[in-house]
Structures are given as structure tokens and as C-alpha cells.
């Protein structure tokens, strides 16, 4: 079926909880996708970082194929032979004692919240039902009822109440505000090292070092939601490493599944994750054999540092190219590594119009609030492809 028919069918048969670009993709490889009409596009969104290793990375596909031919699901009622290898590899990559595998990013966040609360009651001694978690305005941690309870985005939140209590919202990047918000019943501070959905916002230098010190002093867990920022996206394995900070808990997802299966995880030391006992938390598909086989290969790919280095080097090229467009239709550029938030002059076009025009140039990207667009190509992208995307962006802006 060609694009118009496929779009009409999608419109007819699905809930309208997304507003996709009118592109119907049928196959993909590396940084490129092809639509049903045979048009090729450079994928500069990479599934919001779920495709850090590109589409159909050969070693990830091989791992998936091999596992499909042997064993796909056991549930956690039994152990399977891929489980410990994956969990050990990921724990070592994170420098933590233990891993708890789940499926989606939101489930990893929910797991982190539950573990932090339980740790608060059992280890810190917070009175029953009083645990508080400090979060940042502009956050994006997923779509469950608890998570949207502390969202500041009305589209995500409105009409989904009643809301889960126990969260204090402070401005992102403001250490004094977190310091004021932390009290005797605070069990955790939950933050994105870089806020993706908010427009790739990088906090001021020293923010995370300050938050780390505060959390240590106040006996509060620092939870880093690295679901979008982690696993090589910013030029390091974890974005929080740029600040020289180690959180108490990593929340991971997206790229952990290699763009093939949903895989998420929480990584923390025994003193934290050890509070969970059998029957208290879980998921039928969490840590399934297919997920673990692919996830182990993802960990292996990251262990060489090659992808982190590519992201750092090509990221410099991307950011230099974007910075050169400031004053020529671009108002501001933020980000790290192969991840950028680009504010287009709102007098010229909205973010939505920008990504529609970029698609006409053969570049797929995603707008966020107002006139901001996000660029996050797969880490397998080449220098020439980065230059092509920059040229595509320049082409939709007024000439220099």
C-alpha cells in the first residue's frame, strides 16, 4: 500500500494518541529508512535513542535470530541461560551490584520509585506512607498514572487524575530549590541528567555534583533516569558521567533493547535493590531470553567504548554545524554528543513545520515544545551523513 492509503488506515483504526509525520516506513538499515513509496530518509531521531546502534545492527540481529531459534520466553518462574550473563554484564557496565530487568522505560521508572520508597521505609526509617521523592519541572519519565502525577506537562497530566501523592516538583537545574525541598522524609531525588522531552536541556555545570553531595549528606537516593540520555548517546556511557557523578540508581531502557525488543532495567547496589523480596515486584516479560540475548550484545557493544567515542567526535561536528546556523534562523542550540535541541526562530516556523520541511529534505527528526526540534541520529551515522543533515537544515532556513 502507498503512503496515502496507509496513513488513512492508520488514522481509521488507531487511537489518536500520537501525531506522526506523514511518512510510512517499510524497511531500514543503519541510519537510513525507506518508505512504502521508495523514498529514503536519514533517521535523525533514532527512536528517541532506542536505535543508538542504528537499524538492524548486524550483531544484534544475529543475536536475536539465534535466540529466536532456541528459546524466547520462560517467565521469571524459571531461570534461563541468558539471564545471569545479561544481568552481570549490565551490572558491571553500571558499576553496580545488581540489576532488575523490566521491559519499558516507564516500568523502570516505576520500579525505581517503588524501590526508593521501600528503601525509605525499611532502611532510612521514614514513617509509613510518608515517603517523598523530589523531581524536576519539565521532566519526562513515562506515561503511567503515577509518573504523570508529577509531570508539569498538562497534555500528559490533565484528566488522568486522581494523582499519586508523594512527589515534590522543583525547577530543573536549581540546586538551591532541591536543597529546600529535601526533608527528613525524602527518599530520593529523581532526575534526567539531560532533559530530552523538555528540549534537550543541559543543567548548569556543577548541578549534579551538588545534588550528589546533598543526597549523600541527607541520606537520600539519587536516581538518574538515563533511559534516553544513557548508553552512549552523549559521548559517554552515561550522561551523568560528564559531571563526574555516580547515582545510587540507574534507570535504563530504549537502546538497551538494541532497537529490537523492549528492554529496561534498574541497576543499583545490594543495599538498595536488595530491599525487594520474592512476590513484591516483577513482570512476566521482564528479563526474557530474547531480551537478555539482545541486551547482552548491547552491553558488549558498549564495553569497547567505540560508540561513545563516535558520539563524542561526531557530536562535536554536529554541534559546530548547528552553532554556525545561530543567527540564520536558529536561535539556540543545546545538547551533548549526538544529541541536540535546536530552537528555530519562532517567527519563521513552528517546530512541527520545521520537521515537515526537513522530511521533504530527506531528514527525519522530531519537534518538541514550540519551535524546538530534536536531533538524535543513530551512533553509527557517518561524518557525511551528519553533514547531509546539517545541509538539510540549512536548506529550510533563510540563506546566509
Ligand X SMILES: Cc1ncc(COP(=O)(O)O)c(C=O)c1O
Binding site for ligand X (CB under 6 A): 48, 104-106, 109, 140-142, 192, 196-197, 225, 227-228, 253
Q: Annotated catalytic residue: which of 96, 118, 236, 254? A: 254
Among residues 41 and 48, whose Cβ is nearest to ligand X?
48
Task: Tell me the closest approach of the beta carbon of residue 360 to ligand X, in angstroms.
Answer: 26
> Given 83, 86, 150, 225, which residue is catalytic?
225
> Which member of 53, 83, 86, 140 is catalytic?
140
Phi/psi at 167 (nearest 5 deg)? -125, 140
Whether 78 is a known active-site residue: answer no
**Long-range contact pairs involving 94-98 (C-beta distance under 8 Å, separation at least 24):** 94/238, 94/250, 94/252, 94/267, 95/246, 96/250, 96/267, 96/268, 96/269, 97/268, 97/269, 97/270, 97/273, 98/267, 98/268, 98/269, 98/270, 98/273, 98/274
Report the nearest approach of ligand X to the CB of residue 397 (Å).
27
Q: What angle do helix axes 351-360 and 383-396 make, rounded to 10 degrees?
A: 120
Q: Please identify, using beta-carbon distances, which residue of 105 and 392 lies nearer to ligand X.
A: 105
How many other CB atoms sit within 10 Å of the CB of residue 343? 18
User: What are the percentages of helix, strand and coil residues in the chain, rounded to 5?
Assistant: 40, 20, 45
Say how far apart CA 32 and CA 42 lie, in whole Å: 5
Q: Which is nearer to ligand X, 89 or 196 (CB)?
A: 196
**In whole angstroms, how close is the CB of 46 to ligand X at the nearest point?**
12
What is the dihedral sign for C-alpha 343, 348, 350, 352? negative
Nearer to ligand X, 228 or 311 (CB): 228
CB of 238 to ligand X, least distance (A): 12
Burial of 300 (0-12, 13-18, 19+ CB in 10 A): middle
Q: CB 49 → ligand X: shortest distance, Å?
A: 7
* Minimum distance, C-beta of residue 143 to ligand X, in the bound complex (Å): 6
Taking the CA atoms of residue 358, residue 156, residue 337 and residue 258 in that order, the dihedral angle to the nearest 10 degrees is -90
Cα separation, 27 vs 36, whole angstroms: 8
Q: Which residue has the cell 562535536?
A: 316
Choose between 196 and 377: whose C-beta lies nearer to ligand X.
Answer: 196
Answer yes or no: 140 catalytic.
Answer: yes
CA distance 63 to 118: 36
Distance CA 92, CA 89 (A): 5
310 or 366, CB closer to ligand X? 366
Catalytic residues: 140, 225, 254
Amino acid at each position: 500500500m502507498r503512503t496515502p492509503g496507509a496513513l488513512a488506515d492508520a488514522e481509521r483504526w488507531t487511537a489518536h494518541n500520537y501525531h506522526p509525520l506523514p511518512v510510512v516506513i517499510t524497511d531500514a538499515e543503519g541510519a537510513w529508512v525507506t518508505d512504502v513509496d521508495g523514498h529514503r530518509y536519514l533517521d535523525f531521531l533514532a527512536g528517541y535513542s532506542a536505535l543508538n546502534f542504528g537499524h538492524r545492527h548486524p550483531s544484534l540481529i544475529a543475536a536475536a535470530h539465534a535466540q529466536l531459534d532456541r528459546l524466547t520466553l520462560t517467565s521469571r518462574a524459571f531461570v534461563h541461560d541468558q539471564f545471569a550473563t545479561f544481568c552481570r554484564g549490565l551490572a558491571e557496565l553500571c558499576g553496580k551490584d545488581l540489576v532488575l530487568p523490566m521491559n519499558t522505560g516507564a516500568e523502570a521508572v516505576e520500579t525505581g520509585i517503588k524501590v526508593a520508597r521501600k528503601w525509605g521505609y525499611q532502611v532510612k526509617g521514614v514513617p509509613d506512607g510518608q515517603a517523598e521523592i523530589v523531581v524536576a519541572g519539565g521532566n519526562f519519565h513515562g506515561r503511567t498514572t503515577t509518573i504523570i502525577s508529577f509531570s508539569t506537562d498538562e497534555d500528559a497530566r490533565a484528566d488522568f487524575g486522581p494523582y499519586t501523592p508523594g512527589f515534590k516538583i522543583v525547577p530543573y537545574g536549581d540546586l538551591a530549590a532541591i536543597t529546600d525541598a529535601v526533608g527528613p522524609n525524602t527518599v530520593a531525588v529523581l532526575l534526567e541528567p539531560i532533559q530530552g522531552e523538555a528540549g534537550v536541556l543541559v543543567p548548569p555545570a556543577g548541578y549534579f555534583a551538588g545534588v550528589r553531595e546533598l543526597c549523600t549528606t541527607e541520606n537520600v537516593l539519587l536516581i538518574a533516569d538515563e533511559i534516553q540520555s544513557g548508553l552512549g548517546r552523549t559521548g559517554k556511557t552515561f550522561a551523568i558521567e560528564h559531571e563526574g557523578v555516580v547515582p545510587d540508581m540507574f534507570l535504563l531502557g530504549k537502546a538497551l533493547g538494541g532497537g529490537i525488543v523492549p528492554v529496561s532495567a534498574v541497576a543499583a547496589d545490594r543495599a538498595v535493590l536488595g530491599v525487594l523480596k520474592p512476590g513484591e515486584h516483577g513482570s512476566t516479560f521482564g528479563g526474557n531470553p530474547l531480551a537478555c540475548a539482545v541486551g547482552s550484545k548491547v552491553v558488549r557493544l558498549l564495553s569497547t567504548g567505540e560508540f561513545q567515542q563516535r558520539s563524542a567526535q561526531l557530536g562535536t561536528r554536529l554541534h559546530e554545524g548547528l552553532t554556525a546556523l545561530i543567527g540564520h534562523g536558529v536561535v539556540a542550540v543545546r545538547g551533548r554528543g549526538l544529541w541536540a535541541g535546536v530552537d528555530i526562530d519562532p517567527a519563521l516556523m513552528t517546530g512541527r513545520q520545521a520537521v515537515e520541511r526537513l522530511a521533504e529534505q530527506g531528514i527525519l527528526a522530531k519537534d518538541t515544545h514550540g519551535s524546538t526540534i530534536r536531533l538524535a541520529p543513530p551512533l553509527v551515522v557517518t561524518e557525511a551523513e551528519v553533514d547531509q543533515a546539517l545541509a538539510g537544515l540549512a536548506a529550510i532556513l533563510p540563506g546566509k
